[in-house]
Amino acid sequence: MAQILVVDDEVGIRELLSEILRDEGHDVRLAEDATAARAARSAARPDLVLLDIWMPDTDGITLLKEWGANGQLTMPVIMMSGHGTIDTAVEATRIGAIDFLEKPIGMQKLFGAITHALERSHKPGVGALSLAAFPRSAPLRDLKKRLEQLAAKSRTVLLRSGPAGFAELAARTLQPPGRAWIDLAADSNPLTLDALQAAAGGVLCCGDLARLTRLQQKNLAFAAERLEKYDLRLVAATALDIPALLELGWDEAPLRRLFEVWLGLPTLIDVRDEIPDIAAHLLTQLVEAGDSPPRRLSTAAQNALRQHGWPDGYGELKSVIKSLALAALEEEIGGDDVTRLLSPVTSGEPDIPARLSADILAMPLREARETFERIYFEYHLGFDGGNITRLAEKSGLERTHLYRKLKDLGLR
């Protein structure tokens, strides 16, 4: 029979449901609140969850959203409430619940709902990670609110984010559960009306406007004119301004439309303290999707990830976590595993930093100069082990001037 997790803050209801379900041959686990439910879900991976809406620490709707956002909604969930409304039921099913039962629950309705849930031929897929997975992180929670406020008034949202940012994580926040996600940078074919119709209610995304081909630029402009008709949202990201994009071949009209509403994103380093939590959620998604054996990050591994510079941002973090998950020899990923991957032993001269790219050439002169100086000094400080004397000799700067320069650039 099935393994069922019952989540309810009322001990009488928990015990009653447990007795009924065990009599039917099911293996039942109990949780009195959202905290216990999270632990039970991670430990046992139940076949079905009966989830109460009103609980003292975190309500059931919020917990359901959290599971959906971090890729753990891989089992059917039946919501329960003694104060349910039609709006609540609709919201729960929209988020991902398979059914809604009003208390007191009749035996026939209970068994019918459980049978229907367990007979579903497929489980919900593991969705992409979004900001909704971090309700306890103040900076990510605030960023999510800002995004949702912008999206409530505009179908087009521009994220001002460089390579070290996490535009995909932010953009996924605006994707409704179960709706389409179209990456405009991943297809080199003309976008059709049929494709827009099939994606109705979903999100069109472009992670970096500077990387789009001329045809992909036209696809974006084509879609932007039809967002309202097909109930679509367009989320794009760029580190460049309009003049720089015009030099790359963009038409001015769609750019002006994109730049009407925009939001600046921090880099991963700006939210350094959240990196271990983001990494843990990415690892959970890999395990839930069956793309990795069970893995967890040790405290040392989390600290090593927090201290890394992440010049290529969220994409680099995703790649690192997948590499660690697949290459680790033990279930727990250690600090040495992270160090070995992020700081491989090299012979000969070290590589030129990857950030010395065409992106710098697209910046205003003052910003480009400051970016290059930061990369230059970070590179030589790392190469010489932080030796200021050697750095002064290589740069040709007097030590007092050098210290002032490093302070202005935020380098220690």
Predicted local confidence at residue 412, as pLDDT: 61
Predicted local confidence at residue 345, as pLDDT: 47
150 in the same domain as 113: no
260 in the same domain as 137: yes
Which amino acid type is present at position 358? A
260 in the same domain as 141: yes
Count of other CB atoms within 10 angstroms of residue 39: 11
Asked if residue 60 is part of any domain, the answer here is: yes
Positive or negative torsion for Cα 104, 110, 112, 118: positive
40 in the same domain as 103: yes
Question: Which of 40-54, 263-277, 335-349 is predicted least confidently?
Answer: 335-349
Please give the tally of structural domains in the chain. 4
Asked if residue 24 is part of any domain, the answer here is: yes
160 in the same domain as 227: yes
Which residues form the domain of 334?
Answer: 270-340
- Which residues are CB-neighbours of 232 under 8 A, at least 6 positions away? 155, 196, 199, 200, 201, 202, 203, 204, 223, 226
135 in the same domain as 255: yes
156 in the same domain as 94: no
The DSSP 8-state label assigned to residue 56 in this structure reads: S
Beta partners for 7?
31, 51
The larger pLDDT score, comparing residue 143 to residue 391, is at: 143
Could you say which of 284, 313, 340 is where a domain stops? 340
Asked if residue 316 is part of any domain, the answer here is: yes
Positive or negative torsion for Cα 64, 68, 73, 76: positive
Question: Radius of gyration over alpha carbons of the chain, in Å?
Answer: 25
Q: What is the CATH number of the domain that holds 160?
A: 3.40.50.300
Asked if residue 179 is part of any domain, the answer here is: yes
91 in the same domain as 38: yes
Q: What is the CATH number of the domain that holds 391?
A: 1.10.10.60
Predicted local confidence at residue 343, as pLDDT: 78
77 in the same domain as 177: no
Q: 313-363, pLDDT tens digit by residue? A: 999 999 999 999 999 999 999 999 999 998 764 444 444 554 555 566 667
Asked if residue 114 is part of any domain, the answer here is: yes
Q: 357-398, pLDDT tens digit by residue? A: 556 666 788 888 888 888 888 877 776 667 777 788 888 888
Alpha-carbon span 87 to 104, nearest angstrom: 19
Beta partners for 51?
7, 79
Could you say which of 64, 92, 118 is where a domain stops? 118
70 in the same domain as 22: yes
Could you say which of 264, 285, 319 is where a domain stops? 264
Which amino acid type is present at position 215? L
- For a pLDDT cut of 90, what percent of the chain falls above it? 54
pTM over 0.75, yes/no: no
Q: What is the CATH number of the domain that holds 19?
A: 3.40.50.2300
**Mean pLDDT computed over 59-81:** 86
- Residue whose token pair is 């069109």: 204
The larger pLDDT score, comparing residue 77 to residue 70, is at: 77
Asked if residue 123 is part of any domain, the answer here is: no
Asked if residue 106 is part of any domain, the answer here is: yes
Q: 228-258, pLDDT tens digit by residue? A: 999 999 999 999 999 999 998 999 999 999 9
Asked if residue 349 is part of any domain, the answer here is: no
Phi, psi of 283 (to 5 degrees): -65, -40
187 in the same domain as 304: no
The DSSP 8-state label assigned to residue 362 in this structure reads: T
**Mean pLDDT computed over 150-172:** 92
Predicted local confidence at residue 296, as pLDDT: 93
Which amino acid type is present at position 285? Q
Predicted local confidence at residue 357, as pLDDT: 57
170 in the same domain as 113: no
Question: Which of 67-76, 100-109, 168-177, 223-232 is predicted least confidently?
Answer: 67-76
